[in-house]
Structures are given as C-alpha cells and as structure tokens.
Amino acid sequence: AQSVTQPDIHITVSEGASLELRCNYSYGATPYLFWYVQSPGQGLQLLLKYFSGDTLVQGIKGFEAEFKRSQSSFNLRKPSVHWSDAAEYFCAVGLTGGGNKLTFGTGTQLKVEL
C-alpha cells in the first residue's frame, strides 16, 4: 500500500524567505503526486500536480515542486514566502490505475513571521 511521509509537522519562516516542504512517498510504481493547501476552516486547494513528464512542476501562488524518483520525494518550494501563505500543506499520492483514491501525508503547518 502506498504511504506518504511529511517529516516536518511545523515550520516557521520569515516573510520573504525561501521555503521548502518535504514529502516522501512509498509506492511500487510512479504515482500521481499532489500538493494541497488548507487554510483554517477551509477546504483543500490544489497547488500543483505531477503525473508524468517534466519533473519540475509549477503551481499556483508561485509554488513549484520537484519529483525525484531516486529519492521518492516530491518537495514543495517557494522562493519568497508571503504572510498569506501561512496554512497547512498536504502532500498526497494517487494510484495510477483503477480507482483514484488519494493517500495524504500528515501535513506541515507553516507559520510566517512578519
């Protein structure tokens, strides 16, 4: 069964600093990979996705992520964080065949210091 690990439960960065959120997955084949963001009291918003092809994917709000097969990782990055980026970020993996259920990591809570 697939699994997703987000090793950092909490991360604090200063506004304007760069950000990298880590995600490692365990899956027998190349999975579909996603990053979602959840603001307090809100639903999950899709930031970006990787299905195949270019391993560096661009998303909304200035985020990008890089798929590294050798490291089973899909880390999320942003060059300059804004205060409005404070939220919880979830990495998810989906199956590449049959049903399309998502398996989520435990999330990383991002705090932005002004």
Partner 1 sequence: DSGVTQTPKHLITATGQRVTLRCSPRSGDLSVYWYQQSLDQGLQFLIQYYNGEERAKGNILERFSAQQFPDLHSELNLSSLELGDSALYFCASSVGNTEQYFGPGTRLTVT
Strands 102-104, 44-50: pairing is unpaired
Cβ neighbours for 22, distance < 8 A, ≥ 6 positions apart: 6, 7, 8, 73, 75, 108
Decide if residue 32 touches partner 1 (CB under 8 A). yes
Cβ neighbours for 42, distance < 8 A, ≥ 6 positions apart: none
Q: Give the Cα separation of 38 and 43 in Å (integer).
A: 6
Decide if residue 40 touches partner 1 (CB under 8 A). no
CA geometry: angle 5, 93, 100, nearest 5 deg:
150
User: Looking at 8, 72, 73, 104, which residue binds partner 1 (CB under 8 A)?
Assistant: 104
Total residues contacting partner 1 by CB under 8 A comes to 23
The answer to whether residues 35 and 45 touch, using CB atoms and an 8 Å cutoff, is: no
Q: Which stretch binds partner 1 (CB under 8 A): 12-20, 23-31, 79-87, 102-110?
A: 102-110
Q: Which stretch binds partner 1 (CB under 8 A): 22-30, 32-40, 67-75, 79-87?
A: 32-40
User: Looking at 44, 62, 64, 75, which residue binds partner 1 (CB under 8 A)?
Assistant: 44
Whole-number minimum distance, CB 46 to partner 1, in Å? 6
User: Looking at 12, 80, 84, 106, which residue binds partner 1 (CB under 8 A)?
Assistant: 106
